[in-house]
């Protein structure tokens, strides 16, 4: 698997199970995403899974990541 942003190789950082299917979760430490909590902005490594349709999804919400698809 390669990171959809920087194209560097990434290895599975874990798994998630949804609807009886297990999906690999990947993390790219070279790419970051920003999020806010309590009015403060944070950066974290880009973390994603790939669903059965080949879309990149957020492992927390299972929603497609529009900026990656």
Long-range contacts of 46-55 (CB under 8 A, 24+ apart): 46/3, 46/5, 47/13, 48/4, 49/16, 49/23, 49/24, 49/25, 50/1, 50/23, 50/24, 50/26, 51/23, 52/21
Q: What is the pLDDT of residue 69?
A: 81
pTM of the shown model? 0.84
pLDDT tens digits for range 5-54: 999 999 999 999 998 999 999 999 999 998 899 999 999 999 999 998 99
* Structure tokens that stand for 56 in this block: 């990149």
């Amino acid at each position: 698997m390669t990171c959809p942003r920087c194209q560097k190789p990434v290895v599975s950082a874990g798994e998630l199970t949804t609807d009886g299917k297990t999906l690999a979760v990947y993390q790219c430490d070279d790419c970051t995403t920003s999020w806010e909590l309590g009015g403060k902005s944070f950066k974290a490594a880009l973390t994603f899974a790939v669903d059965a349709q080949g879309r990149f999804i957020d492992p927390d919400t299972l929603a497609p990541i529009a900026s990656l698809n």
